[in-house]
Structure 1
Amino acid sequence: MPDATSSRSYLQVWDDTVTLRDLLLSLIITTTLCLGGYILAPERPPLPLMFGLGGALLGFVISTIAFRPKRRVDEEPSSGVSEEPSSGINTTSPGDTVEEV
């Protein structure tokens, strides 16, 4: 039975593979918490900045817990002497379609 994630299309952002849905949801979560912290903070000078940064950090933590990585790392054993130094690690995405952003 095919995996549910194999039919999704993937985007490559900063050399990492993501789905558009997860990217948009994490941006919405982080932006909402960051702006909410900034707007709800008392108006004394450093507090809006600190609350906004705290909201951004909280949004980052929530996004890392909610959305699992989509990449797969396959290690290939090196065979003998090669002309180019190689780490022997091949990183590929689970999807067939990759679009550059």
Structure 2
Amino acid sequence: MVVPEQYPDRMVFENQHGELVELECRFRPSKGNTFVQMKDGTDVQVSFDIAFPDGTPSILLGTVFNAINERGEIFIYQQQLLSFHVGAFHCLGRC
């Protein structure tokens, strides 16, 4: 039996210093109709929940990223990070 990798996907973005950053993660389609309210008051529907391993550095909200799956294919292109939370055992994001 093959056990799938816990964080098979990668998030790729430019940080505030212009350096390319690549982080391990797992994208999962969001359940239900979840919305995040932006600073300008508009509601944006969440498409994916993103799980990151413990120790992932904080990512600025509004960061534009690409998501790459385990086959090396881009499956999310130029999407904006809507939320990021550092938990006790892992970090969570939404886009």
Larger Rg: 1
The two structures have a TM-score, normalised by structure 1, of: 0.23
More helix by share: 1
More strand by share: 2
